[in-house]
């Protein structure tokens, strides 16, 4: 029997990703330190976002799925370790929608937990975003030249955490930890249509 997972299932992009966005989101941690030498599973495991029907069908037809089960299928190619892509076709509030998520298939229940989490998150009566979802959306949409990871110049306990470039008027550009952005900085970096969404409580 598999031990219970402690993975945080999290939405990393608000809206429906088109093809360009989908492929960027597939490897949004591409610039992480020590790529190829680290265990990146924890960075990806549990991330999910919505895609179009066309992109869902494209991914289904690329290779025979590793497995198919009801409303979901697993991609045969693994991202890292035992982490692979799971694609979902879900009926939410009477509408068919499509999603991509990263799950650890060594945990047999991980895809089912993600399915439940997506339906619960997307069935909310009022569209809203948590602070963490806002930060993840900003990270997902920021060009690689303006986002990165705290390196050796940072205190050791901060190394490896996500950083992002901020512009402060006369102060010029400043590199900050993503988690340390103020509410004003978050608002400035979000697309206009997302700035006025109410704050959702974290699950």
Per-residue pLDDT tens for 75-102? 988 888 889 999 999 999 999 999 999 9
Instruction: Kindly provide the residue ranges of all beta strands, DSSP E only, lying in 39-192, ordered along the sequence.
Output: 47-51, 67-69, 72-80, 83-92, 95-104, 147-149, 162-167, 173-177
pTM: 0.85
What's the rounded Cα separation, in Å, for the pair 44 and 38? 13
CB 106 within 8 A of CB 82: yes
Residue located via tokens 């997902």: 140
Higher pLDDT, 118 or 42: 118
pLDDT at 70: 87
Mean pLDDT of 51-70: 91
* Domain edges within the chain: 10-122, 131-195
Mean pLDDT of 54-61: 93
Higher pLDDT, 66 or 125: 66
Q: How many residues does the chain have?
A: 203
Least confident range of 36-45, 134-143, 170-179: 36-45
What's the rounded Cα separation, in Å, for the pair 186 and 194? 10
Least confident range of 9-18, 45-54, 163-172: 163-172
b/e code 148-168 from CB counts within 10 Å (16+ = b): bbbeeeeeeeeeeebbbebee
| Average pLDDT value over all residues in the chain | 87
- Identity of the highest mean pLDDT range in 37-41, 53-57, 106-110: 53-57
Q: Check pLDDT > 80 for residue 60.
A: yes
């Amino acid at each position: 029997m598999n031990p219970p997972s402690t993975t945080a299932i999290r939405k990393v992009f608000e809206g429906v990703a088109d093809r360009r966005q989908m492929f960027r989101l597939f490897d949004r941690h591409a610039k992480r330190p020590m790529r190829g030498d680290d265990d990146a599973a924890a960075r990806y495991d549990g991330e999910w976002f919505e895609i179009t029907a066309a992109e869902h069908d494209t991914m289904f037809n690329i290779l025979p799925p590793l497995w198919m089960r009801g409303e979901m299928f697993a991609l045969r190619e693994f991202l890292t370790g035992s982490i692979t892509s799971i694609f979902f076709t879900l009926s939410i509030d009477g509408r068919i929608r499509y999603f991509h998520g990263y799950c650890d298939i060594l945990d047999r229940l991980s895809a089912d937990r993600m399915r439940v989490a997506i339906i619960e998150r997307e069935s909310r009566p009022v569209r809203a975003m948590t602070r963490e979802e806002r930060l993840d959306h900003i990270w997902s949409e920021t060009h690689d030249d303006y986002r990165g990871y705290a390196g050796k110049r940072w205190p050791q306990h901060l190394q490896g955490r996500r950083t992002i470039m901020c512009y402060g008027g006369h102060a010029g550009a400043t590199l900050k930890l993503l988690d340390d952005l103020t509410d004003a900085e978050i608002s400035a970096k979000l697309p206009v249509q997302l700035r006025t969404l109410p704050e959702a409580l974290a699950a």
